[in-house]
Amino acid sequence: MNGQSLPRDIQGNPVRVGLPIAMLAELTHRCPLACPYCSNPVELARVAEELTAGEWTAIFRQAAELGVLQVHLSGGEPASRRDLSEIAQGARDAGLYVNLITSGIGLTEARLRELDGLVDHVQLSLQGIDAEMADWISGYGGSFSRKMQVAHWIGEIGFPLTLNAVVHRQNLDRLPEMIALAERLGCRRIEVATVQFHGWANLNRRPLMPTPEQAQRAREVVNEARDRLRGRMVIDYVPADHHATFPKSCMGGWGSTGLNVTPDGIVLPCHAAQTISGLEFENVRDNSLDRIWRDGSAFNAFRGTAWLPEPCASCERREIDFGGCRCQAMAMANDPAATDPVCSRSPLNARLRAEAEAEASSDDIALVYRRMSKEKRT
Ligand code: SF4
Ligand code: FES
């Protein structure tokens, strides 16, 4: 892609490849919900291609040997897998810290009790603070009441709980109530993540793009709540980067600390990497995780700093944010090696801001829901 086979730094010296700490295991792309900002690819994986529980168990062992410490069991909705307990057992046997990321839909009290001892932590998604908002955003009637029931069982069983609140223009004004709900549920943490605009969310920019005022207010709400809740509940915050000065360091740097495995075994440097044309991804059914991590051309494409364009190459922040998010650069600049256009130093930033402000003032609130086509469901 960039003519570079091994990662090098800006002076041309070889860069040592570190070890991954975390692995996102997308167990399935099936999901009863239809959130319009889903992080799954627009092209979902077929059910018939999904890795078996036995294959996942072998992958977890390989991951642990490679250095991975924690696995996030995710989807789609991981509870759509009937063999979720068997898969969690595989992760537990590999000695990994097991985090379950779920919408709660499909989990019963009995299934949660089966997972007790196999799962260390649960992250429950939150689409809104009441049934009207949550059911509209998730495209699933009854999701909110079901989710609250699941949160109650999680508390009773004693799983540590994080609430994952994805925020956007339609629900950002109710952020204080989301934080209050997390407090009431006894959460240890709430993750407030502003929608990232690639994949499905990119199809929903007009209804979901926050206004600059909302982004500013959200920062204040988070800071006030962090002060008030210090020592009781952690608030992780992913701000609205379209209104920020600098981009975030996506994935902590490409191919540096984390990897994703899709339901059909493709190993990715980040969940949206398949939106980048020109990269070749390998399958853990064909190659070991270790080899893919160390030598895979997709993983090496944006490691190190030698590939960075200007203004990143001569920027004092190049080892802080590594030029931002590659998938965002692909989505907005049509060039995965470009400076992330959300950076105020990107030549595309003025255009991006103008577009974001126009989208944020749109009256269009029609959502394009994430749906799995009929032929993918088999
Ligand atoms: Fe980060 Fe590049 Fe912007 Fe500097 S110019 S802040 S390295 S994205
Ligand atoms: Fe792929 Fe940011 S989501 S690099």
Cβ of residue 324 lying under 6 Å from some atom of ligand 1: yes
The pLDDT of residue 213 is: 96
CB 283 within 8 A of CB 291: no
The pLDDT of residue 2 is: 44
- Known binding-site residues for [4Fe-4S] cluster equal 31, 35, 38
The pLDDT of residue 5 is: 65
Name the band, by pLDDT with cuts 50, 70 and 90, for residue 1.
very low
Percent of the residues in the chain that have a pLDDT greater than 70, as a whole number? 98
Name the band, by pLDDT with cuts 50, 70 and 90, for residue 198.
confident
Mean pLDDT of the region 95-115: 98
Q: How far apart are CA 27 and CA 50, in angstroms?
A: 7
> Nearest-CA neighbor of 57 among 15, 17, 85?
85
Atom of ligand 1 nearest to the CA of 324: 8
Name the band, by pLDDT with cuts 50, 70 and 90, for residue 243.
confident
Which of 85-99, 200-214, 282-296, 360-374 has the lowest average pLDDT? 360-374
Token readout for 5 is 């086979």
- Known binding-site residues equal 31, 35, 38
Mutation choice for ligand 2 from 262, 268, 327, 332, CB with most ligand atoms inside 8 A: 327
ipTM of the complex model = 0.95
Cβ of residue 330 lying under 6 Å from some atom of ligand 1: no
SS3 234: strand
8 beta partners: 14
Q: Which residue do the tokens 């020592």 mark?
A: 231
The pLDDT of residue 207 is: 97
Token readout for 225 is 């709540």
> Nearest-CA neighbor of 261 among 17, 51, 81, 84?
51
Q: Which residue do the tokens 């989990």 mark?
A: 107
Residues with a CB atom less than 6 Å from ligand 2: 250-251, 270, 272-273, 325-327
Q: How far apart are CA 343 and CA 157, in angstroms?
A: 44
Q: How far apart are CA 243 and CA 239, in angstroms?
A: 9
Which of 48-57, 122-131, 234-243 has the lowest average pLDDT? 234-243
Mean pLDDT of the region 273-302: 96
Nearest ligand to the CA atom of 251:
2
Q: How far apart are CA 135 and CA 360, in angstroms?
A: 22
DSSP state of 252: G
Cβ of residue 250 lying under 6 Å from some atom of ligand 1: no
Mutation choice for ligand 2 from 39, 195, 250, 339, CB with most ligand atoms inside 8 A: 250
Cβ of residue 323 lying under 6 Å from some atom of ligand 1: yes
Tens of pLDDT along 14-66? 999 999 999 999 999 999 999 999 988 888 888 999 999 999 999 999 999 99
Interstrand relation of 189-194 and 234-238 (parallel, antiparallel or unpaired)? parallel
Name the band, by pLDDT with cuts 50, 70 and 90, for residue 241.
confident
Q: Torsions phi, psi of 26, nearest 5?
A: -85, 100
The pLDDT of residue 233 is: 97
Tens of pLDDT along 337-377? 999 999 999 999 999 999 999 999 999 999 999 887 777 77
Q: Return mean pLDDT, the chain.
A: 94
pLDDT at 235 over 80: yes
